[in-house]
Structure formats: C-alpha cells, structure tokens
A and B are shown apart, each in its own frame.
Chain A
Amino acid sequence: MKHVEIAIIGGGPAGLCAAISAASSGANVLIIERNNKLGGQLVKQTHMFFGSEKQYASTRGIDICNILINKLSKFKDKVEIMTDTTVVGMYEDGVITAMYKEEKYIKIKSEAVIAATGAFEKTLAFPNNDLPGIYGAGAVQTLMNVYGVKPGNKVLMVGAGNIGLIVSYQLMQAGVEVKAILDAAPKIGGYLVHASKIRRMGVPILTRHSVKEAIGKEYLEKAVICELDEKWQPIEGTEKEFDVDVMCISVGLSPLNELLVMRGCEMKYVPQLSGLVPLRDENYETTVGNVFVAGDISGIEEASSAMVEGYLSGLCTAEKIGYKHEKFEELKNDYLNQLDDLRSGAVGKHILEGTKEILVN
C-alpha cells in the first residue's frame, strides 16, 4: 500500500491547479492521471481562451497546459505524478485503487482526496447513430489536434455550443469542409463571437434543427436533418440531406462522478450543472470528510473556473490536513472573488444558480 498526504484524481486544469496550490501550502501530493500526459482537455485546445489575465485569457489552451505544468515543476520535491494510471475505486476506509496500464493494481491510502476527473460527452439517439464516421466532438478534436489525423473530409456538426463551434473552426483550420452546424435549440448556445467567426467562413448555422437519421452501409454516407417546431418536435416535410462522411456530436458534457457515488458522497441532479453533482461546502469539500472536488466533476463549466476551483480546493484541502498557507485568507478570498466574477454575467448566471443548489455548510 502506498501512503500519500493528498491524492489528486485527474491531471486536467483543475487537478493541476489543485496540486500547485496544495504543494505551495506545504503538503505532499500525488496526481493520478489515466492518460499518458497531463493537461486533461487542455492538450487539444488550440484556440485562445476567454476570461481574464488571471486565468490566462487570450492564451491558447495547449500553452496554458504548459504554463501550469511549469508552475507545478517548481514544487518537484512535493509532487509525485503517476500517468497511465486510472483510479477504479474509492472505498469507505479511505483506500483508492488504481490500475496502471491495465497491467497492475495499486492501492493508495491518503489523508485527503481531491477528485478532479472532469466530464464525459453526451450522445444523441437517432437511427444508425453507431455507423463509423459518427464521432463525439472530443474524439474529433483529439484525433486532429493531438494525433494530427483528419477524421474525414465533409462534416456535419451537431450542436452549436462552444465546443461545437470551436471544433468546427478547428476542422476548417485542418482543411476539412464543415457543411453546416445544427442545434435543436432556438438560439446558438456558444459565444456569439465564435459563431460569427465560423459563419463568416461560409458555414451555415441552423438553429431549431436536429438529426433525423444517418444513412450508410459500411460507414456514414449521408445525414438527414429536419426542422423542429416550438415543442422541439420534427416538422414533417422539412427533411434535408447532407453528403457527409463525418458527423460530429457535440450536445454537451456530463460530470464524471462515479467515484464520488461509490465513495458515498451525497449527490444531487442539477440541470444547470449538467448532471449529477456532489453537495459541497464553500471550500469544495463534499459531504464525506476530506474528499474534495474541483472542475467539471462538480458542474460543467470552463477551464477558467476549473483552474480557480482547483486552486481553491487545493488550498483548503492542505489547510484541512494541517498545512495552512501563510496567505490562506487572502488567497481564498481572491479565488472566491474570481469565481464570482466569472459567474456574474448572463452566461454564468445558470451556473451560479446551480451552485446554490449544492452548497452546504
């Protein structure tokens, strides 16, 4: 059995910032990451981020990833990193089990845990949605931006949230033709500046539209779409066909929460946070003592807020086990203010409402 002070599950922006913050408070941390490198979603984000300077706005996600890893390397003697290692269980006695490269199981006992596992992509039900050529947006982005592989030549994007818009833009940058972007909602969900920059490349954005079916023998050859009425029902006779070899499904993410459920954290379904999320206090501690969370696992938001949540959660976790940062109060207030700022606008309002539903004392 391996013993550590703080085990951080997931090395995305939230986990990395939690590690930086806890280590700078004086605690020893172990980051457990299932991929072969750190960074989570950031490793495939080639676009510039929004937010403010404090969250590295205007910097590309891939570069933010390196900035964080660099920051972390300043605490080398306090940080241990295990990549290619997936946490598969969290038990009542505080033991975590993890699997290294499907080769061996490791047992880890820690004083505290920060769960920062992020999210998984939702899918969409329609006939033949299992044909080759139909991908999640995350998979397409990983293929293109991590492995340099074009997913196909003609794409229909389903979902006009930020992810659908950004991945469409990046597909075009890779030389792939995007035929159209659909969304069932009456309005574009993503930032309108993103929508405008894709629209002026000539890609139509069709709101109130959905996929009716996919057609193809061995792989996707055609997509049939249709218009939706006010009640989100297909309107007869509005079908349109697109000759595409890729359909990219980008209809949202859901918190990756199984480990918390297994550990017995009290959970609540909160639509504004996109799924089942843990109840937590202001310090991001769940209803199970010494189990903290940060990032998309506690509600789907953005890397900017995931980083701030990570810093906050790392700071408070370290404090809980006896490593109080000398500027604890000042830092904590700063992080709480940053989160308020990010969530104060029209776009963040639903997140703010959602967080009120899960806040406990």
Chain B
Amino acid sequence: MLEKTGIPTEEMIKEVFPSIDRINKGPVAVIECYQKIPCNPCVTACRFNAINIGDDINNLPELDIEKCTGCGMCVSKCPGLSIMLIDGSKSESTILFKIPYEFLPLPEEGTIVKGLNRKGEYITDVDVIKVLNPKSFDRTPVITVEVDRNYLYEFRNIRVEG
C-alpha cells in the first residue's frame, strides 16, 4: 500500500504511535519513517538521545518514549517531514498536534483551518493554536493545531484557504 500510493496502512500508523496513556501525559514525538534510507538528522537534532538509529545510517529511527520530552526540535529537522508531536494532556476531547508545514500563506493563530488525513482529504475543522517559524527551524514552520480526539490516527495535515 505505502509503496504504491504513499499512504501508510492503519496498522503501520498505530505501530509508531505511543500508548494513549503516554499521549495523555504530555507531548511526545511520532516518527512515521517506514523505509530504510541513508538518513539521520532526527538523531542529531534530539538533545535527549531519545532517537536511535544505531551504527548503520540506513536503519529505521527508534524512539525511546521514556526519554522523549516532547521538546519538538526534531520536527523541523526531518527532511522527510515525517515527524510530528502529539499531546493529549490538555483536554479529554482533543489532541494538540504540532506538524511541519512548508506552504504559504501560513495559517494565523486563532483561526480555523481544514484538517486533512494522509490522503489529503478533508476530515474536520481544526483550531490553529500556534505558528512557530524561528530562524533555527530553517524555513520549516511548525504549526500547533487542536484536533478532535476521534481523529487521532487520521489527522496529518492542514489546508489553509485564503
């Protein structure tokens, strides 16, 4: 499926997601990197040694959920834009997602934008909480959006209409 369409299956997605318990404790990274490629900036980016690739740069990155503080440094550094942060500690009905977004116009804080799934289809409206674009992110802005919990495993992207 993934290698024919670019869309990972639900099982693949669930495999890389942390437990609901962990998500409810606070922000944590989700790394959707399913193919062995020569790449490791995520490892270099993490100051907490939470991402491990081992000796062979082609290995898949492994996240140590215990070590991940949810600092978010890895999100803008992954050239595949395959890392996002999720946080279920703020509300019982929603999840905060931090996703990389490299398109103009950037969404504005406090507005509502379209939430999309991994096929780019509209699933639900989401609230834009924060837009971060400091120099250190090197032109990969990170957007925090609040999403209905029902879409935990579906939400992956936004569309800004304007």
* Partner-B contacts on A (CB < 8 A): 47-53, 57-60, 172-173, 186-188, 191-205, 207, 304, 341-348
Contact = CB atoms under 8 A, between A and B. Distances in A.
Contacts of B34: 192
A187 B3 contact: yes
24 contacts: A48-B140, A50-B39, A50-B80, A57-B39, A58-B77, A58-B138, A173-B104, A192-B34, A193-B32, A193-B35, A193-B82, A196-B80, A196-B118, A199-B118, A200-B156, A201-B157, A202-B116, A202-B120, A202-B121, A207-B4, A304-B38, A341-B58, A344-B58, A347-B38
Nearest to B2: A192
A347 B36 contact: yes
Interface of B: 2-8, 32-41, 44-45, 56-58, 77-82, 102-104, 116-121, 138-140, 156-157
Given A58-B78, A173-B102, A200-B119, A52 B38 contact: yes
A200 B100 CA distance: 12
Among A48, A60, A173, max chain B CB count under 10 A is at A48
Contact of B5 (A53, A172, A205): A205
B119 to A, nearest CB: 6
Nearest to A172: B103
A57 B119 CA distance: 27
A56 to B, nearest CB: 10
A58 B45 contact: yes
Given A187-B4, A200-B118, A57 B41 contact: yes
A188 B57 contact: no
Given A58-B45, A341-B38, A348-B38, A200 B120 contact: yes
Going nearest first, the 10 A-B pairs with the smallest beta carbon separation are A193-B80, A202-B120, A345-B58, A195-B6, A199-B6, A58-B41, A48-B79, A50-B39, A200-B157, A192-B35
A202 B119 contact: yes
Nearest to A201: B120
Contacts, number: 138
A343 B3 CA distance: 21
Given A187-B3, A196-B8, A52 B40 contact: yes
B99 to A, nearest CB: 10
A173 B139 CA distance: 12
A195 B33 CA distance: 12
Q: Which of A51, A186, A196, A202 is most buried by chain B, counting CB atoms within 10 A of its CB?
A: A196
A253 to B, nearest CB: 19
Contacts of A347: 36-38, 58
Nearest to A204: B5
B2 to A, nearest CB: 6
- Indicate the member of A197, A201, A304, A344 with the most B CB atoms within 10 Å: A197
A304 B116 CA distance: 33
B103 to A, nearest CB: 6
B133 to A, nearest CB: 15
B6 A205 contact: yes
A53 B44 contact: yes
B140 to A, nearest CB: 7
A346 B58 contact: yes
A344 B53 CA distance: 14
Given A193-B81, A200-B119, A342-B38, 13 more contacts: A48-B79, A52-B40, A173-B103, A192-B35, A193-B37, A193-B82, A195-B2, A196-B82, A344-B38, A345-B36, A345-B56, A347-B58, A348-B58
